[in-house]
């Protein structure tokens, strides 16, 4: 059965590239969520106070991969202990958020955060767990960014190491 997950863990290019490798994931869309500006643009996100985070929306087959496993990958591949920051990317648009779609997802998100994530990280988890209000897809040039720009410096220096870390831990999840 097809399900959706919406998460923000820093740069959406990184998160998108990881989930595109996961068995059971049918589609990953980069976009914006968690803010107050309707249909924001990338430029607005980084110049104005839209309130949005760079996020991805994941369509997955929950008979192949569970929502819990989606979130375990999420907590492994980004640092959920740094508020409004992932590496050199600083600002509220890079905050860690799980946007739950229903009460069951909220319960699973709280459980994975309080148990799995806390076992991975020594510092306090700052990931927000909030209801999904609206997800706005990003501009076309942000979609499939790593696939379309594998030799770009950011992809080589930032995304590739995250992909290697993911592959080493979650080999059984690879397509």
What span, in angstroms and rounded, lies between the C-alpha atoms of 94 and 11?
6
CB atoms within 10 A of CB 94: 22
Q: Which of 5, 8, 11, 56 is catalytic?
A: 11
CB atoms within 10 A of CB 95: 23
- Is 155 an annotated catalytic residue? no
Signed CA dihedral, 12, 24, 174, 172: sign only: positive
Q: Is 94 helix (H, G, I), strand (E, B) or coil?
A: helix
Burial of 89 by CB count in 10 Å (0-12 exposed, 13-18 middle, 19+ buried)? middle
**Residues catalogued as catalytic:** 11
């Amino acid at each position: 059965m097809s399900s959706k997950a919406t998460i923000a863990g820093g740069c959406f290019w990184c998160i998108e590239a990881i989930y595109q490798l996961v068995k059971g994931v049918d589609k990953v869309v980069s976009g914006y969520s968690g803010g107050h500006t309707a249909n924001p643009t990338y430029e607005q996100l980084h110049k104005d106070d839209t309130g949005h985070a760079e996020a991805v929306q994941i369509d997955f087959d929950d008979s192949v991969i569970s929502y819990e496993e989606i979130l375990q990958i999420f907590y492994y591949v980004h640092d959920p202990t740094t508020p409004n920051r992932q590496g050199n990317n600083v600002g509220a648009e890079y905050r860690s958020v799980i946007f739950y779609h229903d009460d069951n997802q909220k319960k699973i998100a709280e459980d994975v955060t309080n148990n799995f994530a806390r076992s991975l990280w020594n510092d306090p988890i700052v990931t927000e767990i909030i209801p999904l209000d609206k997800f706005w897809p990003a501009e076309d040039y942000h979609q499939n960014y790593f696939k379309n720009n594998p030799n770009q410096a950011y992809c080589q220096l930032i995304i590739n190491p995250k992909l290697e870390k993911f592959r080493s831990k979650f080999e059984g999840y690879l397509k």
